[in-house]
């Protein structure tokens, strides 16, 4: 609505004829096409899902043919691969369900959230960050210490992920849609 009215206002204010209106429509369409193609760059990372886009063991990235919800850590558990009840592992990876995370013990905390422990597929990790030093702008080093011989834990639900590009994406999408709609009155003439 707003873009169409704006396009009509531009045509009326500049007193554009048919030829100039067609040029305006082409310019608006070209700009919106370029802007729409840049929208593909702005986005959020996909969720880390064990066995789907994150391998159960360290190694190369999974190819489409090698994606599998079962791994050596859960193959003998008799898991139902069609039962989706996501858990967030202590390694920051979301697993399809507690069984596929290799968890063998379950308990509830005081708020009723289920906690799963002794999860064979979840690597126990400890994040170590050095104390803040003299320079604020200095790149902060984060060390992830992995204990391969210890099983991790998991809690009910998907792991949180940050997506700081949603608001800029929506603003940019509004602007692109506005530019696209500005070309509509020119196409009618």
Instruction: List, for residues 77-118, the tens digit of each pLDDT value.
Output: 888 888 999 999 998 899 999 999 999 989 887 787 889 999
Per-residue pLDDT tens over the stretch 115-141: 999 998 887 654 444 444 444 444 444
Residue 87 sits in the same domain as residue 149: yes
| pLDDT the model gives residue 57 | 62
Distance between CA atoms of residues 111 and 127, nearest Å: 26
| pLDDT the model gives residue 86 | 95
Residue 73 sits in the same domain as residue 149: yes
Residue 94 sits in the same domain as residue 30: no
Average per-residue pLDDT in the chain?
A: 78
48 assigned to some structural domain: no
| pLDDT the model gives residue 170 | 87
CA distances from 56 to 50, 51, 76, 91, 155 (A): 6, 6, 15, 11, 18
* This prediction's pTM: 0.60
Distance between CA atoms of residues 128 and 19, nearest Å: 66
Distance between CA atoms of residues 107 and 88, nearest Å: 15
| pLDDT the model gives residue 167 | 86
Domain span holding position 178: 2-43+165-188
Which residues lie below 8 Å from residue 175, measured CB to CB, with a gap of 6+? 35
**Number of domains composing the chain:** 2
66: confidence class by pLDDT, cuts 50, 70, 90: low
Look-up: residue for tokens 């992920």? 161
Residue 146 sits in the same domain as residue 172: no
């Amino acid at each position: 609505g707003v873009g169409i009215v704006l396009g009509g206002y531009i045509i009326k204010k500049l007193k554009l004829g048919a030829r100039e209106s067609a040029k305006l429509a082409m310019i608006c369409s070209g700009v919106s096409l370029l802007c729409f193609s840049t929208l593909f760059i702005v986005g959020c990372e996909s969720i880390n899902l064990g066995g789907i886009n994150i391998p159960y063991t360290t190694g190369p990235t999974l190819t489409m043919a090698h994606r599998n919800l079962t791994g050596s850590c859960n193959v003998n558990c008799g898991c139902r691969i069609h039962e989706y009840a996501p858990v967030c592992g202590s390694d920051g990876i979301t697993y399809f369900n507690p069984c596929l995370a290799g968890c063998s013990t379950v308990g509830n905390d005081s708020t009723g959230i289920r906690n799963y422990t002794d999860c064979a597929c979840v690597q126990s990790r400890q994040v170590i960050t050095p104390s803040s030093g003299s320079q604020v702008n200095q790149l902060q080093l984060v060390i992830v210490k992995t204990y391969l011989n210890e099983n991790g834990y998991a809690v009910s639900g998907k792991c949180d992920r940050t997506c700081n590009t949603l608001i800029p994406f929506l603003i940019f999408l509004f602007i692109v849609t506005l530019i696209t709609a500005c070309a509509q009155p020119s196409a009618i003439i």
